[in-house]
Structure 1
């Protein structure tokens, strides 16, 4: 009896100590956040008017005490900071926030509009890599917009309007997710970057000093978005851009000065000398270079009409790839295409396909319709994922049209292709390589050391549903569904943000109602068009079941969807849930609600399944309920602890 009593005491002490450590960690994070925000606001109010004080009680805690303009998540991490119209002044020192690792990893919105802030260097803002919205409009910032802003890969909204920014813009078109850009009323100059205007909801660069033609696509915005730039031209503005011929001088033909004639003769003789020297040099080395010239000629002459080109799956393999790995059946070097078709990524512009094939490669996975390789490109200094598709009976023209259509539809949870190549023998897609693995890896134990709690699973489910619903809505008329949605095609970042990969490729659905469908599914009638979108719904339901049960889709001949439906029918619902979630204390009611959504998705009748828009709305509601529940629980614990503290 005494042993049991002692064990109970030890357990209670361990529990209390664990709670103390957890509480101490939360408190230290809040103290770090309070110090950062205090430093920031002190620097922006000390030079303001005498009556201008800090909007916060700096002796309290930002998240727990709900400071005005400060929004935190349920882990007391800073998400949004909004300090609009507070008459703040002085130099903004963004390092107070963005050099603090915990803040930089969570801050998504920074809004400082309509104050009196100034400063020439805003480069530190780029350390807040998770920013999606940055509002700096209505201040007195000057100098150039820093190139470091290009590192804000998650940025969707950038407002720098009504400031004193000058100089040229960095190439903001490299931020592929940017949908709103406001830069009016500044002193910016130079050419406009080649923005992909089809992505933008809002765009305004009026009242600056920009020059040159408006990039293609700008016509979708009104002229007021570009006016008051004296040297800018082209649609939608009424002034057309001058042609090269209009720049010729008014000098009569044949009227050249003596100096011009001598300069021309000198340049001609110099050029002739260089040409003769080059010819002599090439002739001397002709024999030595003969083999290389022939090889280069073969590479340069390749196009889609070549039908004898032979590749084998061994072309891509783990480790460096040698020239012999591309041999044809006759033993000669395989002829390779000259370049990829780059979509909307300047990072891969100029890469040649033969260089991609020669780069070190590692096989990541092989499926029924192709393989995926991890390729390190030394010339660009980046790691790529290359999807090689086989047995897809789609014409090269239709494939190119499909890839370009997909490139015009952007969503933050859909992984876009960077480039592609298509010929009669090859169809390849190039993606950014995401190193943190897939949802499949995380669920089924191949990625140790990463937790996957109920709240995070619900976040992932909501993001995937939102991305899929968006793509269905945008691409329904084109008849382009995902076609092969599964947990291994949902990639994750370090912050557990999901990216749906391989959207719109070959049809390989698990949906039993599509069994036997041809994978060349374009243009096969309205019925099949509806069917492939409903097949995506089925696949999403299976992913939900994987996250709820922790089980494989197929195991020992058992189909996960059929098993779950049979267990629920026998009223043993709780038996299907992942034991990890049960031990965690996840809300059984919300797990059951998500399970009911999943079961509707995997209904064998396609017509009985909900649309992705309906599913996304329901999952989002569950997520909001979960977030509110966690906020309430956190507030209750904090109140209880502080009431009992001396």
Structure 2
């Protein structure tokens, strides 16, 4: 009997204790349990960096706490994949910021996200979430920033967004949303619904936003073209009934008059054009002495690729077929002088001067007869692709602003021509006359690193993985290290991504070296904006450490995919090194990496090491920067480390790779 009473008492005690536990508010332990469940459900290799043996959950990467609760969870680009299960966010009720952007999360948003009523910032862009935008989001009263862009959400945009009275940012672009845009009466500062399947007119309350917020839909009105039927009588014009603002239709006679007038005007313009063409062709048939042409200017049609402010290398990845004037611009004056111009020292006819053992399979006349394409305008002049009659292809740079004497030019250019390293674009020959200075290089068909990073992002683009990027970094470093080894006064002076050219196997070749000493004072202080070291005042006088700074910016460009010359970087106008440092200091390091790099696992540690090297190179003070020999050595070491990892993957890394391939 006593035994039975004891058992009953113990059962009641356990029941009471469990009821007591159920009334206790969640604490950091419950947050920790939820985070581990998230790690188990969708965690990629990045979440394996969480040290689960460390009881201090708040020290895990991407986690911030206040009052012993998790308030910030930032996991951007963390290789998360799969659907988010229900039952995780219901325990993370103190979250104020949740960032899961740039991952591969899919499915619908978990319903228990509605329990995070303190949520202010929700960043889910760049995933594969689908389904309708859930109504429970409209029950988060403190939401200020909401970004659902670049997912697969469908259905209509709900008027329930009006419940979010504190919402300032709403980004819904690049989804599959349809229907019309509701009249949102919330105080939005940022809004974008571009590239969906929306139709109808832009609501009046949203017409203050730019047209880019609505492009890629079937929308009208506001910042876009007027909707049909929107044309009204201008203010002050009164209709027959005395009322103002009535729509008016043009009479049939007026329409006929407009059509007839337009046809007559077109015919008149056509006649004038024909007369002008005849006059121009008559001029062409007359003989013209090309020797009298002096420095014709070339106008390059078309726009530069995104992020390319100027092209210092001879190829930026896009070409424009050369017109007769374009070809002449590189050669007409040279042709005239080649016919009999006497140099200052009285040596007689000018000709191409070749370096070393360069093959002399063509001469100046062959070069002038070659078909040509304009490759781009850069810091030191215009570059052309020249296809010779013998089938060879070379790159010709027509220098500008050369103010030194012929003797000085020969001395300096011969020093450039003597540079011989596998990571340099070799200078094969040059031509000098009073009016023309031409340099002949090997042609690099793959173009520049700048074009590869910032050019075509569409289908057919070759993704730049870690192996390619780190290999480019190493090749460029070796080329610059070689230049520095030629003496304390030998530097590049114009290091940037458009001066890193690529072979078909993506090997880097440094171009434009040694040319900074040939040209006159810069015509603009922003000649190499974004790459120039802060201590440089004259681009013709660049030290080794200033080259290291420029190379550090180049590394940051490789890692982030951002062009340092972009004037609106981070929408604050800051330069790339300062932006990277601020992000690394305030957020998780992976925030800065290019999305294309984040697709590749097993190399996070090497990426972080290269990022740290880039930051070291771009230090504010020259004495804090490493030498190029140190830079090359560190890149070689981290490349060997990643190669060893690829050959001998750890069990976890191999598992992650299998998961990635299965997707």
Question: Which protein has the larger Cα radius of gyration, Structure 1 or Structure 2?
Answer: 2
Q: Which has the higher contact order (CA 8 A, sep 6+)?
A: 2
Q: Name the structure where helix makes up a greater proportion of residues.
A: 1
What interval of TM-score do these two structures reach, taking the shorter chain for normalisation? 0.3 to 0.5
